[in-house]
Chains A and B, each alone.
Chain A
Amino acid sequence: MAAKKASPDLLNSSFSFKSLKLKTKQQELLLRVSILGLVYVLAFIARLFSVLRYESMIHEFDPYFNYRTTLFLTEKGFYEFWNWFDSESWYPLGRIIGGTLYPGLMVTAALIYWTLRFLRFFVHIREVCVLTAPFFASNTTLVAYFFGKEIWDTGAGLVAAALIAICPGYISRSVAGSYDNEAVAIFALLLTFYLFVKAVKTGSLSWALGSAFGYFYMVSAWGGYVFIINLVPLYVLVLLITGRYSMRLYVAYNCMYILGMLLAMQIRFVGFQHVQSGEHMAAMGVFLLMQVFYFLDWVKHQLNDTKLFQTFLRITVTSAILVGGIALGVGTASGYISPWTGRFYSLLDPTYAKDHIPIIASVSEHQPTAWSSFMFDYHILLFLFPAGLYFCFKRLSDATIFIVMYGLTSLYFAGVMVRLILVATPAVCLISAIAVSATVKNLTSLLRTKQKVPQTGSTKGVGSSKSSSKVTLDQSQPFHKNGAIALLVGVFYLLSRYAIHCTWVTSEAYSSPSIVLAARGAHGNRIIFDDYREAYYWLRQNTPTDAKVMSWWDYGYQITAMGNRTVIVDNNTWNNTHIATVGRAMSSYEDEAYDIMRSLDVNYVLVVFGGVTGYSSDDINKFLWMVRIGGGVYPVIKEPDYLVNGEFRVDKGASPKMLNCLMYKLCYYRFGELVTEYGKPTGYDRARGVEIGNKDIKLEHLEEAYTTSNWIVRVYRVKPPTNML
């Protein structure tokens, strides 16, 4: 946005400040830098609601694993971390941590920690972990600024930075405490794209090199790098088809692909997948196609005869496609190229996961997106997006083609899975920013022309805007002024609504740690349920150090990180059979479950129960997924056994199998004696709003060890087998 030009009278009147007065360009720079600085700070502080409201702590489930590994990294050093075999999870299998994680996040946090220590700031590693996500969100706004500047102009860059700083779609995964891979990955993703677009624009090796390193950082941080390695080739392909092939593109793509591939293969979790798995084949195919294009260009240069060239072209293109097809076919058939993974396939054919992979379909963030979620996470950006698309098409360049493709593909994926809204957020912000910036620029330049016309009689001021400047008819000016003011007011009203929406959503919806629960009491006061940590610290203090705890996989990471005890399964769902075994134990009768638990050396069983507090995401509500996942491997577990006429019930009408399975018994043990709500019978389940069906529960092989103050977590001890003598 251009700064105001100082008028001559003003200069004269404030003569004493003349020496301090900045030139227009300097003024603009100052404005821009200060706006960016403010946005940078804003992005950080908007994410601190959770720290202010609760305390500085790690949120949710996966972040606890990341925290635990980061702690290990800072204590034991990088090589120990890299070769770490973790025997505390997936008992008795264990897990090779170094080879099965993306280390980018942990290494980043450790580097920040070591830097701070070096500068003599003695912070705790937990604080670093908690604040990593907001810090990287701030950095993302900077990248968004440069990206916006690259594809449109500085105005669009500034607007994009401001929009992305508070966009709920991004905040949802980057509030203080959500120490997860996405926290740094979105920064890396946008950086890679920015550098690649820059490389295509300039054709310079150094930008391409930069984008290769950006890609490396992304690969080290998140599995979502697959999106980059498919979007970039797709983009190159579109440029090739639409006849935008250039030497710049050749340099940028080849350098980025080859270097990026070599670097990515250094990450153990990726390794040779990068050249062998089906998801990465598109990139390789486009790479080969690039060489064909280059070769053709060279031959065309050598041959001056067009007819000869046409024939040559036909032969080359046909044979290239043939060879490529045969190579792919042979590779797939011989097993050298692995087929697509289920997760990837479920993006292209969204109904796939539901039918074939219950463990993916069961996760709430893998659900398809309804329109209200889009509205919640994007608000007015959704209205601005089509306008932005229109502007991009009006001014097509290599850069705008990229942002349009990025926006559309990611928006499609966001429709398939709720969590992918995150990936689409930067693109939506950038495209909407183009709409806002271009509109505001057009309108303000119109307004300013009017003011100047009577004074100077020149129309120089409109030079910047392209389309609107064509109308400089005198009689249309009164309309333009009114209309422009009305439109401007409308736009600023919308933007202010956006700010209000984002603040509210951040504060109310996205800042709860989910490990500490909050509810409103009868008098509007805030009640805190800290049962999870209570239970985990109990485990840590009161159980033998080699005790094995069985729980549903959601709580695995938290138990190992906070309770410091060995678990059977955790959130890294790499072994479906093992999870199904736990699911089977939970859905069997107690004596059958006891055999399974004995075979897994289980000492304690932990269940999460919301019947007293009305907490709805407890194990009873997750129970059908345990049955489904268990039944997927062990056909003795059948879902209809737990349903009555296709309905899941826990009251008197529940199926007998349901009323006597281990999960039911552990959740509702002694619950029949309890009055939870005034005016209701004993054993009234507040999460499901029914009186339970089995109030007289006797446990034979297990005994209650600990129940937290609000009954949310219940821990049971598995009794040793009775003495044979």
Chain B
Amino acid sequence: MTMAINKKLLSLLLLVSSLSSIASASFSDPDSDSDLTNELASLRSNSESGVIHLDDHGISKFLISSPTPRPYSILLFFDATQLHSKTELRLQELRREFGLVSATFLANNNGSDLNKLFFCEIEFSRSQSSFQRFGVNALPHIRLVTGSTAKLSDESGQMDQSDFARLAESMAEFVEQRTKLTVGPIQRPPFLSKAQISVIVAMIVIATPFVIKRILRGETLLHDHRLWLSGAIFIYFFSVAGTMHNIIRKMPMFLQDRNDPNKLVFFYQGSGMQLGAEGFAVGFLYTVVGLLLAFVTNVLVRVRNLNVQRLVMLVALVVSSWAVKQVVYLDNWKTGYGIHPYWPSSWQ
């Protein structure tokens, strides 16, 4: 989407960027430098984890109209709310990691180094012209604008794909390499806050004597067969549905058809890959057949009412054969194999 808009305004961009470089070269004033730095610092102190939210106005103020060399560098995160729904771009995750780097930088630096680098973000829908100026037409995009960068469309400050592959750690490495400032080890917030941990520990301590007492008497949930059975079935379902595959590969539940955006694709053709919903559907079919078999041979025989027995049996048979047929059909379709028996050659 961004790309299309960008192409339209490409000519405008060239014009604006050339104008801005002329403007920025025209004057330089040490007083206004420190003013801008102070303003940025105050903006930073008001924003969460020190990431300043800029718009077109802010960009022109701090980057375009300010003369080079500026006394500060800006690491800019390009965000687009409308693309947050596209999970493969990982915008929200990267934005969180970006905030982490910023917070770590703030925590580990004080004094003069602190005001040499500012972490900022701009949002596409409110700052479209800035996106044009930077020549950004694909996200995710993170750009370092150093003090000496005169042209905003200069792409040398762009963070490569590989630089945010390892999230905050690699972003920090990139920053340290380029700016010669230290970010320090990333301080991730603990999974549970201290208060939560203390509450949990207290609860465990209180519960321990009761639990021990019940274990000794042999009447815990752990002694309940049904719980173990359902747990076992769940693990089975989890595995055969390829859930690990979905987690590791971060597969979406379904895709949009490329030719027809209203149509959803639930099944992916080609072995070794699958979509989320596809796995769950097939895993469900597997489980249903197995459980029906167990049910028919173990529970149903105890039912006294003959008609109920007959009916349930019939339903079970029909459902199972349908499910097996469906799975075999899907498998043949997905892998493209035509499995057939081998007959003795004299029969042909």
Q: Evaluate contact between A479 and B309: CB separation under 8 angstroms.
A: yes
- Beyond A350-B244, A391-B294, whether A371 also contacts B162 by CB under 8 A is no
- Beyond A372-B331, A487-B317, A640-B162, whether A386 also contacts B291 by CB under 8 A is yes
| A499 CA to B296 CA, complexed, in Å | 24
- Beyond A383-B324, A490-B320, whether A507 also contacts B229 by CB under 8 A is no
Q: Evaluate contact between B229 and A390: CB separation under 8 angstroms.
A: yes
- Beyond A241-B222, A386-B233, A467-B301, whether A368 also contacts B294 by CB under 8 A is no
Q: Is B242 an interface residue (CB 8 A)?
A: yes
Q: Is B218 an interface residue (CB 8 A)?
A: yes
| A369 CA to B218 CA, complexed, in Å | 39
| A594 CA to B261 CA, complexed, in Å | 51
Q: Evaluate contact between A389 and B229: CB separation under 8 angstroms.
A: yes
- Beyond A370-B273, A371-B279, A640-B161, whether A351 also contacts B248 by CB under 8 A is yes
Within 8 A of B (CB), among A75-91: none
Q: Is B243 an interface residue (CB 8 A)?
A: yes
Chain A's closest residue to B290 (CB) is: A386
Q: Evaluate contact between B232 and A408: CB separation under 8 angstroms.
A: yes
Q: How far is the CB of A131 from chain B (nearest CB, A)?
A: 23
Q: Evaluate contact between B239 and A370: CB separation under 8 angstroms.
A: no
Q: Return the contact of A504 from the options B161, B279, B291, B340 (Cβ within 8 A).
A: B340
- Beyond A414-B239, A443-B297, whether A383 also contacts B286 by CB under 8 A is yes
Q: Is A393 an interface residue (CB 8 A)?
A: yes
- Beyond A376-B335, A471-B301, whether A370 also contacts B291 by CB under 8 A is no
Q: Return the contact of A369 from the options B162, B242, B321 (Cβ within 8 A).
A: B242
Contact with B along A505-531 (1 / 0, CB 8 A): 101110000000000000000000000
Residues in B whose Cβ lies below 8 Å from that of A380: 324
Q: Evaluate contact between A435 and B290: CB separation under 8 angstroms.
A: yes
Chain B's closest residue to A370 (CB) is: B274
Q: Evaluate contact between B339 and A500: CB separation under 8 angstroms.
A: yes
Q: Evaluate contact between B291 and A387: CB separation under 8 angstroms.
A: yes
Contact with A along B233-260 (1 / 0, CB 8 A): 1011011111111011100000000000
Within 8 A of B (CB), among A629-681: 631, 638-640, 645-646
| A372 CA to B327 CA, complexed, in Å | 9
Q: Is A327 an interface residue (CB 8 A)?
A: no
Q: Is B7 an interface residue (CB 8 A)?
A: no
Within 8 A of B (CB), among A39-92: none
Q: Evaluate contact between A393 and B235: CB separation under 8 angstroms.
A: no
What's the count of A-B pairs with C-beta under 8 Å? 198
Q: How far is the CB of B285 from chain A (nearest CB, A)?
A: 9
Residues in B whose Cβ lies below 8 Å from that of A507: 342
Q: Evaluate contact between B294 and A386: CB separation under 8 angstroms.
A: yes
Q: Is A384 an interface residue (CB 8 A)?
A: yes
Residues in B whose Cβ lies below 8 Å from that of A351: 247-248
| A337 CA to B313 CA, complexed, in Å | 57
Q: Evaluate contact between A412 and B239: CB separation under 8 angstroms.
A: yes
Q: Return the contact of A355 from the options B166, B228, B289, B293 (Cβ within 8 A).
A: B166
A interface residue count range (under 10 / 10 to 19 / 20 to 34 / 35 or more): 35 or more
Q: How far is the CB of A214 from chain B (nearest CB, A)?
A: 26
Q: Is B278 an interface residue (CB 8 A)?
A: yes
- Beyond A386-B290, A486-B317, whether A638 also contacts B212 by CB under 8 A is no
Residues in A whose Cβ lies below 8 Å from that of B263: none
Q: Return the contact of A639 from the options B161, B298, B304 (Cβ within 8 A).
A: B161
Residues in A whose Cβ lies below 8 Å from that of B283: 371
| A576 CA to B101 CA, complexed, in Å | 30
Within 8 A of B (CB), among A243-265: 243
- Beyond A384-B293, A389-B232, whether A638 also contacts B160 by CB under 8 A is yes
| A242 CA to B216 CA, complexed, in Å | 10
Residues in A whose Cβ lies below 8 Å from that of B328: 497
Residues in B whose Cβ lies below 8 Å from that of A354: 248
Q: How far is the CB of B290 from chain A (nearest CB, A)?
A: 3
| A416 CA to B239 CA, complexed, in Å | 8
Chain A's closest residue to B309 (CB) is: A479
Residues in A whose Cβ lies below 8 Å from that of B166: 355
Q: Is A501 an interface residue (CB 8 A)?
A: yes
Q: Is B44 an interface residue (CB 8 A)?
A: no
Q: Is A199 an interface residue (CB 8 A)?
A: no
Q: Is A317 an interface residue (CB 8 A)?
A: yes
- Beyond A503-B341, A507-B342, whether A242 also contacts B222 by CB under 8 A is yes
Q: Is A4 an interface residue (CB 8 A)?
A: no
- Beyond A371-B240, A376-B331, A390-B294, whether A350 also contacts B248 by CB under 8 A is yes
Contact with A along B87-112 (1 / 0, CB 8 A): 00000000000000000000000000
Q: Evaluate contact between B290 and A385: CB separation under 8 angstroms.
A: yes
- Beyond A374-B240, A390-B291, whether A317 also contacts B317 by CB under 8 A is no
Q: Is B272 an interface residue (CB 8 A)?
A: yes
Q: Evaluate contact between A384 and B290: CB separation under 8 angstroms.
A: yes
| A408 CA to B240 CA, complexed, in Å | 11
Residues in B whose Cβ lies below 8 Å from that of A317: 212
Residues in A whose Cβ lies below 8 Å from that of B218: 243
Q: Evaluate contact between B229 and A372: CB separation under 8 angstroms.
A: no
| A685 CA to B335 CA, complexed, in Å | 25
Contact with A along B130-151 (1 / 0, CB 8 A): 0000000010000000000000
Q: Is B53 an interface residue (CB 8 A)?
A: no
Q: Return the contact of A375 from the options B244, B290, B313, B331 (Cβ within 8 A).
A: B331
Q: Is B178 an interface residue (CB 8 A)?
A: no
Q: How far is the CB of A246 from chain B (nearest CB, A)?
A: 14
Q: Is A332 an interface residue (CB 8 A)?
A: no
Within 8 A of A (CB), among B317-348: 317, 320-321, 323-324, 327-328, 331, 334-335, 337, 339-342
Q: Is A429 an interface residue (CB 8 A)?
A: no
Q: Evaluate contact between B340 and A371: CB separation under 8 angstroms.
A: no
| A500 CA to B332 CA, complexed, in Å | 14
Q: Evaluate contact between B273 and A411: CB separation under 8 angstroms.
A: no
Q: How far is the CB of A503 from chain B (nearest CB, A)?
A: 6
Chain B's closest residue to A352 (CB) is: B248
Q: How far is the CB of A357 from chain B (nearest CB, A)?
A: 13
- Beyond A242-B223, A435-B290, A475-B306, whether A415 also contacts B244 by CB under 8 A is yes
- Beyond A373-B272, A382-B240, whether A396 also contacts B225 by CB under 8 A is yes
Q: Is B282 an interface residue (CB 8 A)?
A: yes
Q: How far is the CB of A235 from chain B (nearest CB, A)?
A: 14
Contact with A along B175-217 (1 / 0, CB 8 A): 0000000000000000000000000000000000100100110
Per CB-CB distance, the 7 closest pairs between chain A and chain B, nearest first, are: A386-B290, A390-B294, A415-B244, A368-B245, A415-B239, A370-B274, A387-B293
Known: A497-B328, A638-B162. 18 other contacts (CB 8 A): A242-B222, A355-B165, A368-B242, A372-B274, A375-B282, A380-B324, A383-B290, A385-B290, A386-B290, A387-B291, A388-B290, A393-B225, A412-B238, A415-B242, A467-B298, A467-B302, A483-B313, A640-B161
Q: List 18 A-B contacts (CB under 8 A).
A: A314-B209, A350-B244, A350-B247, A371-B279, A372-B274, A375-B331, A384-B290, A385-B286, A386-B289, A387-B293, A393-B228, A412-B238, A442-B301, A479-B310, A487-B297, A497-B328, A631-B162, A638-B162
* B contacts, CB < 8 Å to A: 138, 160-162, 165-166, 209, 212, 215-216, 218, 222-223, 225, 228-229, 232-233, 235-236, 238-245, 247-249, 271-274, 278-279, 282-283, 286-287, 289-291, 293-294, 296-298, 301-302, 304, 306, 309-310, 313, 317, 320-321, 323-324, 327-328, 331, 334-335, 337, 339-342
